[in-house]
Chains A and B, each alone.
Chain A
Amino acid sequence: MINAEQFSQDAPTDRLLAFIAFLRGRDILISPADSLVAMEVAGLVGYDDRTLLKNGLGSALAKSKFEIEVFNEAFEQYFGASSSDKAKNENEPRDVDDATDDSPSSQELGEQLSQAMQTQPELAKNLSSELVDALRSGDEAAIAIAVETAAQQVDVSSIKLLTQRGQYIRKMLDALGEQALRDAAVELESTEPAAFEAVQALREQLRNKVRDRVDRAYMVHASGDAEDMLDEALSNMSLGNVDQHHRARLKRLLERMTRKLAARHGRVRKRVKRGQLAVSPTLRKAMATDGIPFKPQWRKSIRRKPQILILCDVSGSVAAYAKFLLLFLHSLQDILPRTRSFAFSSNLGEVTETLRALPLEIAIERVNLKYGGATDYARAFEDFASLAMADINRVTTVIILGDARNNNTDPRLDLLAEIRSKCRQLLWLNPENKRSWGSGDSEMLGVIRNCDVAAECSTLKQLERVIDDLLVQLNC
């Protein structure tokens, strides 16, 4: 749990800034301008009414349905905890930690310790620090200030990994001067059991506070980094090796990539050079030349309509990669509306409708079930030729995904050559490492001669690059 409230009561702006940093760690892009708006919003609605603040900040910071979900969750985490603390603080002014609820309050503990200190002047001398005074009197504010100062001393905000928690907690405790308490505990253990208990309890309280502070720093400054690291690792990992556990994350990553690609390669319109005259734009253009129309304008502008045919090998070894390619291209429906998909292992069939009608995950499983088996490229090319050869024209891009391993039979590369001669470009994507192309029963060397681009596509990054290049080509 985070106690965002503790220190920043008089500086709500800092708290808001910390919250924004927290959101950024959660993948929400917030520009400085957005932060300014958030400040203005908070200034208008105030910090007292939580729902009002949530709605207001949400409108300024969360910009899509996905971000709203993240925002709501983050808001509860960040401001939720502090408000419950507040409620608690009103009822029992000192005790914040649930763990210490049953044990005597810090004031009682403090009194016990004070008694021990009165009897032992040596101990009193050792323990005469502001921190111990604050702990003894249960002065939350003073403790909080001390913790915060220590946090700044050890630069807790540079925490990067969860495993660093222990280290930072130790560092902060040292900076706080907890050593004295520890020594006192050792000394008292044999002589005064009651005072020993008290010291231990106070140490525990302090430790909890420090741990909370470190956790908060981790959540604000590092959890996002850790996520980024995982994302980075996943997008560079071979898609076949990603385990079930990370599939969901991978899918999210893929969605983000497609969004990015779609935004970068939005629909491009081209002005045509003939057609029906558009009178008003022509006259408008002609104004610069005193009404003499030098530059006629035409009614229509055309949008390029690239057609893409994807052939996916869905036999066991390649199926995982095929799934991601299909997911990728079908998520790009908006900018590539004329995409047709075919699946094959021995025989080939069109699966466009299946993919369109069902949710992608289920559809792909069904496709695998129907067309999975041993690969036979010759048969697949023959089927494809009879199904779609007539539809291939100069705007068609054909993408074939497969490992080009044909179990030592003739792959009918002549058909591949024919396909290439008819289409605009032919791409072959192979999930195998380039070094193993052509080894064993791989026909990849023959394939390379018969296609425009042959690329490796075993990771999400590679897949993204291939599709990025493809979209650039299609739009120019």
Chain B
Amino acid sequence: MSHSFPKLESVDSIVESLATAGYICNEQIATVVYLAAALEKPILVEGPPGVGKTELAKSCAQVTGAPLVRLQCYEGLDESKAIYEWKYGKQLLYTQLLKTQLSEVMEGATGLRASVERLHTFDDVFFSKEFLEPRPLLQAIDAEGGVVLLVDEIDKADFEFESLLLEVLSDFQVSIPELGTLEGRSKPLVFLTSNDTRDLSDALKRRCLHLHIDFPTNELEGRIVRARVPQITEAMTDHLVSFVSKVREMDLKKLPSVSETIDWAKSLVLLHADSLDEELVKSSLNALLKYEEDLTSVIENLVDLLNTEKQAANA
């Protein structure tokens, strides 16, 4: 099988090359990316916010060197914003032009029948590709050489929009009522991300490979932090990561995400901290937690959280 993405040819090489792009991933993620490239199927990435769903698509684009086409979904998104739109302004101008040129076209035709016949021989460009304004989905399948298409937060879009996506995702083609079906020139590597705010339709799910990214293990998160914040010391990373994983076990309104762990690590580096103590955590914790209630409940349990951590470090 020939793929359009030569860099995604084996699971191990994907893990490695994504790591060079700054995206540390586990074998599961790499396996799914490999399968998606090989089977030419879209990937539906689900998981809590901030675990690197969007980042995965970006990193894949970076690794393969393919351009990234991004479609951000929102309520009310429709085909004219996602797939194509007519350049109606130009079309209207064209009809104006046609009126002035009409006498030239009709020259010599006498009688209604002859005029209509003449009109039929005339090349119709009103609905033609020239007047088509491609939107992200059409751009993605129409590009020469593969691109990486990211359909972000598909769960935010309306239910009807999912149906629009189906044709693009399964056959890589777009049907335009006025023109017929436009076949894509290449098959893009497609990532759909979802925060699970609602159930997606079975039809959409069926067309995709599924990847559920959860919060990473301590070890993996440590590697991610070190890759993103190279200045941080190893001991500090271990502290930080196990602290965050304990916080995630608490009953909070919003659990800290990986990106927030990275933000916190960055702010700790800026503060020149070399170990976690109560004062430091209290003053910088708002990089990690975004709700007042969460902050207070973590600070209430801070002594416990830090203590168990020390024990773990000692052990």
Q: A65-104 toward B: CB 8 Å interface, digit per residue (1/0)?
A: 1001000000000000000000000000000000000000
Nearest-CB residue, chain A, relative to B41: A37
Complex Cα gap A52–B10 (Å): 11
Is the Cβ of B210 less than 8 Å from the Cβ of A290?
Answer: no
Residues of chain A lying within 8 A (CB to CB) of residue B76: 301
Interface window among B25-33, B221-229, B266-274? B25-33
Is the Cβ of B39 less than 8 Å from the Cβ of A334?
Answer: no
Contacts A40-B39, A45-B35, A267-B159; A55 near B28 (Cβ below 8 A): yes
Interface window among B52-60, B145-153, B200-208, B241-249? B200-208
Of B34, B46, B88, the contact of A65 (CB 8 Å cutoff): B46
Residues of chain B lying within 8 A (CB to CB) of residue A56: 31-32, 35
Is the Cβ of B39 less than 8 Å from the Cβ of A52?
Answer: no
Is the Cβ of A44 less than 8 Å from the Cβ of B86?
Answer: no
Is the Cβ of A283 less than 8 Å from the Cβ of B35?
Answer: no
- Cβ of B158 within 8 Å of any chain A Cβ, yes or no, is yes
Is the Cβ of B38 less than 8 Å from the Cβ of A44?
Answer: yes
Contacts A33-B206, A60-B209, A284-B86; A51 near B27 (Cβ below 8 A): yes
Is the Cβ of A52 less than 8 Å from the Cβ of B205?
Answer: no
Is the Cβ of B31 less than 8 Å from the Cβ of A59?
Answer: yes
Shortest CB-to-CB span from B3 to chain A, Å, is 12
Is the Cβ of A45 less than 8 Å from the Cβ of B31?
Answer: yes
- Cβ of B95 within 8 Å of any chain A Cβ, yes or no, is yes
Main secondary structure of the interface of A (DSSP, over half): helix
Is the Cβ of B205 less than 8 Å from the Cβ of A63?
Answer: yes
Complex Cα gap A287–B212 (Å): 45
Which bucket holds chain A's interface residue count?
A: 35 or more
Complex Cα gap A262–B80 (Å): 27
Contacts A31-B206, A334-B198; A55 near B80 (Cβ below 8 A): no
Complex Cα gap A424–B211 (Å): 44
Residues of chain B lying within 8 A (CB to CB) of residue A62: 210
Complex Cα gap A308–B215 (Å): 37
Shortest CB-to-CB span from A357 to chain B, Å, is 11
- Inter-chain contact total with CB atoms closer than 8 Å: 78
Shortest CB-to-CB span from A268 to chain B, Å, is 9
- Cβ of A144 within 8 Å of any chain B Cβ, yes or no, is no
- Cβ of B302 within 8 Å of any chain A Cβ, yes or no, is no
- Cβ of A29 within 8 Å of any chain B Cβ, yes or no, is yes
- Cβ of B109 within 8 Å of any chain A Cβ, yes or no, is no
Complex Cα gap A284–B34 (Å): 42
Residues of chain B lying within 8 A (CB to CB) of residue A446: none
Residues of chain A lying within 8 A (CB to CB) of residue B43: 59
Shortest CB-to-CB span from B134 to chain A, Å, is 16
- Cβ of A280 within 8 Å of any chain B Cβ, yes or no, is yes
Residues of chain A lying within 8 A (CB to CB) of residue B158: 267, 269
Complex Cα gap A137–B275 (Å): 68
Is the Cβ of B202 less than 8 Å from the Cβ of A44?
Answer: no
Residues of chain A lying within 8 A (CB to CB) of residue B11: 52
Nearest-CB residue, chain A, relative to B29: A55
- Cβ of B92 within 8 Å of any chain A Cβ, yes or no, is yes
- Cβ of B199 within 8 Å of any chain A Cβ, yes or no, is yes
Q: Which residues of B in the span 54-100 have a Cβ within 8 Å of any Cβ on A?
A: 76, 80, 85-86, 88, 91-92, 95
- Cβ of A266 within 8 Å of any chain B Cβ, yes or no, is yes
Q: Which residues of A in the span 150-199 have a Cβ within 8 Å of any Cβ on B?
A: none
Of A31, A59, A283, A287, the contact of B210 (CB 8 Å cutoff): A59
Is the Cβ of A55 less than 8 Å from the Cβ of B46?
Answer: no
Complex Cα gap A34–B205 (Å): 10
Nearest-CB residue, chain A, relative to B126: A287
Complex Cα gap A60–B198 (Å): 20
Residues of chain B lying within 8 A (CB to CB) of residue A29: 202
- Cβ of A281 within 8 Å of any chain B Cβ, yes or no, is yes
Q: Which residues of B in the span 177-235 have a Cβ within 8 Å of any Cβ on A?
A: 196, 198-199, 201-202, 205-206, 209-212
- Cβ of A12 within 8 Å of any chain B Cβ, yes or no, is no
Of B88, B198, B209, the contact of A283 (CB 8 Å cutoff): B88
Q: A25-37 toward B: CB 8 Å interface, digit per residue (1/0)?
A: 0000101011001
Is the Cβ of B39 less than 8 Å from the Cβ of A281?
Answer: no
Q: Which residues of A in the span 119-139 have a Cβ within 8 Å of any Cβ on B?
A: none
- Cβ of A11 within 8 Å of any chain B Cβ, yes or no, is no
Nearest-CB residue, chain B, relative to A269: B158
Complex Cα gap A55–B34 (Å): 11
Is the Cβ of B91 less than 8 Å from the Cβ of A55?
Answer: no
Residues of chain A lying within 8 A (CB to CB) of residue B201: 263
Contacts A34-B206, A44-B39; A259 near B27 (Cβ below 8 A): no
Is the Cβ of B35 less than 8 Å from the Cβ of A59?
Answer: yes
Contacts A60-B210, A267-B158, A287-B86; A262 near B27 (Cβ below 8 A): no
Shortest CB-to-CB span from A86 to chain B, Å, is 21
Complex Cα gap A369–B82 (Å): 52
- Cβ of A438 within 8 Å of any chain B Cβ, yes or no, is no
Shortest CB-to-CB span from B75 to chain A, Å, is 9
Complex Cα gap A419–B34 (Å): 61
Is the Cβ of A55 less than 8 Å from the Cβ of B88?
Answer: no
Is the Cβ of B80 less than 8 Å from the Cβ of A281?
Answer: yes
Is the Cβ of A290 less than 8 Å from the Cβ of B95?
Answer: yes
Of B85, B159, B196, B211, the contact of A266 (CB 8 Å cutoff): B159
Residues of chain B lying within 8 A (CB to CB) of residue A59: 31-32, 35, 43, 209-211
Interface residues of B (CB under 8 A from A): 11, 27-28, 31-32, 34-35, 38-39, 41, 43, 46, 76, 80, 85-86, 88, 91-92, 95, 126, 158-159, 196, 198-199, 201-202, 205-206, 209-212
Extra A-B contacts (4), CB below 8 Å, given A44-B35, A65-B46, A287-B88: A37-B209, A59-B43, A64-B199, A287-B126
30 A-B contacts (beta carbon < 8 Å): A31-B206, A33-B206, A34-B206, A37-B39, A37-B41, A41-B35, A41-B39, A44-B35, A45-B31, A45-B35, A55-B28, A55-B32, A56-B32, A56-B35, A59-B211, A62-B210, A63-B210, A64-B46, A64-B199, A65-B46, A65-B212, A259-B199, A262-B198, A280-B80, A280-B88, A281-B80, A283-B88, A283-B92, A287-B86, A334-B198
